[in-house]
Amino acid sequence: MKEIAKEAWNYTFSEQHPGDYILSVVCGGAGLYDFVIRLTSAQIAAYEREGIPYISRLAEEVRYDQTPFNAQKA
């Protein structure tokens, strides 16, 4: 597993195998937990286009509402 980017108490973005990307997002309030997703091909394409700013935005979306990302749970 290769760590690509990490911001303390925000997210960790890693490449598990070539082309297999994992995003671990810090979520919650008085109880903090990690929500971990595997990026879809569309998200990988967006990352390749925009870089880390896209990952940062994706982490924010995941933190706000995990429901749309349940199918991607790693």
Partner 1 sequence: MKKNLLHLWLFMLMAAVSFSCSDDDDKTPETIKLEDSWKDGWSSQKVLDIAKGQRPAPSVYLDQKYIDFHLAQFNGGATYLVTKSSLDKYGRDTLGYPDNTQFVMTKAEMDAMLTKTAKDISKIETELGIPAGSWKGQEMVRISISDPKALNVRVPSGNEMGANSLWLPGGHLPTGYSEAVINKIPKGKYTETPL
Instruction: Using the minimum distance from each CB to partner 1, give the nearer residue, 48 or 68.
Output: 68
Nearer to partner 1, 17 or 65 (CB): 65
Does the protein bind partner 1 through residue 72 (CB under 8 A)? no
- How far, in Å, are 18, 41, 47, 50, 51 from residue 27 at the CA level? 27, 24, 21, 23, 22
With a CB cutoff of 8 Å and minimum separation 6, the contacts of 62 are: 23, 25, 27, 35, 37, 69
What minimum distance in Å lies between the beta carbon of 23 and partner 1? 14
Judged by the rule CB under 8 A, the positions of this chain that interact with partner 1 are 7-10, 12, 26-35, 60, 63-66
